[in-house]
Structure 1
Amino acid sequence: MRQDTSQHARNRIKQRIQGEGYAGIATTVLSIVVVGLLLTVTFAAEWVRAPEINLTTSQSLISPNGDQDRDFTTLTYSISDDATVSIQVLDSSGHVVRTLLQGEAQPTGQGFVSWDGSDDSGRRVQDGLYQLQVNAQGAVRSASRSALVEVDTTPPTLQLVNLPNGMRVRSPVLEIQGVTEPGASVWLTGAPSPVTVDTEGRFLLQYRLQDGLNSFELRASDEAGNTASIQRQVELVTTAPDVLVTAPPDQAWFNNPIVTVRGEAPPDTTLTVNNQPVSVAADGTFSYDLLLDEG
């Protein structure tokens, strides 16, 4: 009887051990399956993820006019995953005007392209806003980002007020007044710094003249680097002009109350006789009928 009881106990222990072993095996198999599923899901998520794109431009305002100032912009971009990259330039209506890169397979990392403001036919585009659009096609999904670039090739306006070319003045201090495009910079020949321009584009400065003929230039430059200029010549006259009266002779006597005054003067002279203006001909001669008082 004791022997049967001992045998029964051993059988129960054996069954218990076997049960625990089967449970351990099942747990291990389940763990392997879970890990495999997690790896599969992670791989799938990585595979279908859209590439991330970051981009910057060296210039957001260009003036492609060949003056070597802001003639082009460089687009630098980076992608987070291997992708097929295309880069196009779109106008304000969304039309493609230039293809800079078409379907090029690129690894993760950085790239760059330059745009000189021309379309696919090589002609310069019209002034306005354009999008530099980068499209990166991953294994399943794609991503797109754009940067705005403005094209401006129009020179700023520049006008002077009451300062004709060839003007003759007596004062050595010349006042120069004018107007330009708001935001533009105005420079005067030989000046170390630009002229102050107000928010409406108006400016006022003084320029010291030397005796004789003075030449100077005013140049306006806008934010895109476009320029406009005006040249002027102004003569400073500090000595009286030579005037020669040829008739009538000095100390002459007349029976007629009307006498004709004739003479010569520089053609650009402002001449008056008894406070009345007299025109000087191109050859430097003048003539004026004067009514005399008796005596």
Structure 2
Amino acid sequence: MRFTVQSQRFHSQRFQTPRSRQVYATPGVLVTAGSIGLALLLLLTVFFGDWLRAPGLQAFASRALFSPNNDGSFDIFDLTYDLQNSANITVEVFSETARVRLLQSQNNQAPGKHFLTWDGRDQNGALLPDGAYRVQITAQSVFRSESRTLNAQIDTSPPSVKILNSDEQMRVNSAELLLEGVSEPGAVLWWNGAMHSIIASDGRFSIPLRLQEGPNLVTLRIIDEAGNASEVRREILLSTRGPEITLLRPTENEWTNQQVIEVQGRITPRGEVTINQQRVQTSEDGFFRHQVLLTAGANLLHIEAKDELGNITSLNRTVYFKTGASSIQLNIEDGAILTTSTLQLVGKVEPGSRVSVNGQQVAVGMLGDFQVALPLLEGQNVIEIQTIDQAGNSNRLVRNITYNPNLGRETNWNQIGANFSQAPWLVIPALLLTLIVLGFLYWRRNHVELALSVNQSTFTPGLPAENHLLEIYLDLSQTARVTLEVLDEHGRPRATLLRQRRKMGRRHIIPWNGLDDQARMLPPGLYTIRAEAGSPPLQVTCSVPVQIERKGVSGSAQPVSTRQTVGNDWRR
């Protein structure tokens, strides 16, 4: 440039006249001067255009809320800014009152996207309190600057959670439970490790639960928008079983002769007890006692226990109340005179009673019948029978029996001898008459009328504890030895109930449980119950059919009987 100016001056001086000399520019000079001016204009335009151009700053943040508590969730505030032109960048953080952090200062950066994070701390590295902050980004070019402001919110407080219908340890008796609570609106609700829902704007939430019997652990985790988390645990115990009842007294089917009975027992503590709908007081450990007034006969005691949740357990007990002595039936009257040395004592008492004869315990059948053979001493014998029924009532009966083996023998033989001495011709007729009388007496003594019947024609045996029995009725016209058997369809004996047992002339009830001689239950089929009484040649036989069925098959319950009074059975 300097050279060019000097050249122009040289050319001007060359063509100047001494005084009023005119200067004439040649075309070459004009072209040169124009070129130089245009170059200068372009340089100035480019230089000042760059200086006057704006940075073109744009900035945004991914989220305003963050929680710098090192829990791994939204711990930093991250921002992104975009420059269209190079500029010096300054990033500052302001609270409501002052600047708290300088993130960048006059950092020259090229056009493009740039990223920056803030850890929520001040210039000294201290964690700032929760609240609202401004992050200001300033881009400075040569002559122009631009600023952008982003809002940031520090929130390190975990969201509050309140369960409305559950304590820390809760007991319920229903498997369906709707757990309700309140927390921070917009927070995410996690239940037992899985995301459940986002809490509504009113802050309320509900979780339908399906509980299992016993303890159920429920874990709720609430995460707010800043990443802060709160966790709530609840143990909910589902109990649908009623309280346990241990009844100490009375026992099942207890008999008593006391009109007032005391009921004692124990339940689960803190429960309620009622006996026949009457409230009963319980101690801290669940023990209770209560007196009940009984009526004659069977009394049903209904014990009901209820726990705190409303679960109910009930128990029934039957108690029998009876007063008064039970009757005793014997086959011999007081003052009887016997010529035999053994007394076959047969009697009947109330079923379930205990019987002793002369201080010795005697077995009693299920129907209350008993029999015992008693040796007699010559002369006076005292027979004492004592009985105690199931309720504890006792009775005593005494029989005075005389044993005289020589009664009537001496007098009869002396009279017969005198008659024969006065009329010897009567000997032969007397002998014949004696034989006829003896034969008649023998027939009379051994002729037995026998009747056999059962209470049902179809019998379904059960287990021994079920007490399923078939009653066989045996009627004898006089005392005889009896054999009672059960025969199958082929006539083979399967069960022997009596074998040559001496039975008195009356009705006898023999129970049978459906078992054979080896205590095995007989299979279903048609069987024959056969009874034999007496001895040959005057032996009588009766039989009655019985159909044995399995459980669940109903049959006729009409009594079936047969009677036979003629007794010569030569096949036996």
Task: Work out the CA distance in 2 between the residues paired with 1:75 and 1:266.
Answer: 65
Task: Work out the CA distance in 2 between the residues paired with 1:86 and 1:22.
Answer: 57
Q: Sort the Cα spacing of 1:147 and 1:287 in 2 relative to 1 into closer, same or farther, 3 A.
A: same
1:207 aligned counterpart, secondary structure:
strand
Counting aligned pairs with the same residue, the percent is: 33
Structure 2 residue 43 is matched with structure 1 residue 43? no
Task: Work out the CA distance in 2 between the residues paired with 1:125 and 1:89.
Answer: 11
1:66 aligned counterpart, secondary structure:
coil
Question: Offset at 1:137?
Answer: 2.6
The corresponding residue for 1:60 is 64
Unaligned stretches of 5+ residues in structure 2 = 1-22, 296-572
Structure 2 residue 168 is matched with structure 1 residue 175? no
Question: Offset at 1:29?
Answer: 3.1
Task: Report the AA paired with residue 222 of structure 1.
Answer: D
Structure 2 residue 131 is matched with structure 1 residue 128? yes
Say whether the 8 Å CA contact 1:87–1:132 is kept in structure 2: yes
Matches within 5 A, 1:48-127: 48-91=52-95, 93-127=96-130
The corresponding residue for 1:213 is 215
Task: Work out the CA distance in 2 between the residues paired with 1:266 and 1:107.
Answer: 81
Task: Work out the CA distance in 1 between the residues paired with 2:155 and 2:105.
Answer: 27
Task: Work out the CA distance in 1 between the residues paired with 2:87 and 2:289.
Answer: 91
1:120 aligned counterpart, secondary structure:
coil
Q: Sort the Cα spacing of 1:115 and 1:200 in 2 relative to 1 into closer, same or farther, 3 A.
A: same
Higher deviation after alignment, 215-224 or 28-37: 28-37
Say whether the 8 Å CA contact 1:63–1:152 is kept in structure 2: yes
Q: Sort the Cα spacing of 1:238 and 1:146 in 2 relative to 1 into closer, same or farther, 3 A.
A: same
Question: How many residues matched?
Answer: 267
What is the alpha-carbon root mean square deviation over aligned residues? 3.5
Task: Work out the CA distance in 1 between the residues paired with 2:31 and 2:247.
Answer: 130
Say whether the 8 Å CA contact 1:270–1:277 is kept in structure 2: no
Higher deviation after alignment, 142-151 or 223-232: 142-151
Say whether the 8 Å CA contact 1:59–1:72 is kept in structure 2: no
Among 164, 174, 189, the residue aligned to 1:161: 164
Residue deviations 1:186-243 (CA, integer Å, cap 9, x gap): 222155x414643312122321111111111112222222121211111111222223
Task: Report the AA paired with residue 123 of structure 1.
Answer: A
Question: Offset at 1:23?
Answer: 6.6
The corresponding residue for 1:231 is 233
Task: Work out the CA distance in 1 between the residues paired with 2:166 and 2:283.
Answer: 22
1:194 aligned counterpart, secondary structure:
strand
Say whether the 8 Å CA contact 2:280–2:290 is kept in structure 1: no
Task: Report the AA paired with residue 271 of structure 1.
Answer: E
Task: Report the AA paired with residue 172 of structure 2.
Answer: V
Task: Work out the CA distance in 1 between the residues paired with 2:280 and 2:117.
Answer: 66
1:33 aligned counterpart, secondary structure:
helix
2:48 aligned counterpart, secondary structure:
helix
Q: Sort the Cα spacing of 1:280 and 1:80 in 2 relative to 1 into closer, same or farther, 3 A.
A: farther
When the two structures are superposed, what TM-score results if normalisation uses the length of structure 2? Answer: 0.41
Task: Report the AA paired with residue 84 of structure 2.
Answer: S
Question: Offset at 1:103?
Answer: 2.9
Unaligned stretches of 5+ residues in structure 1 = 1-17
Task: Report the AA paired with residue 200 of structure 2.
Answer: D
Q: RCO (CA 8 Å, sep 6+): is it higher in 1 or 2?
A: 1
2:49 aligned counterpart, secondary structure:
helix
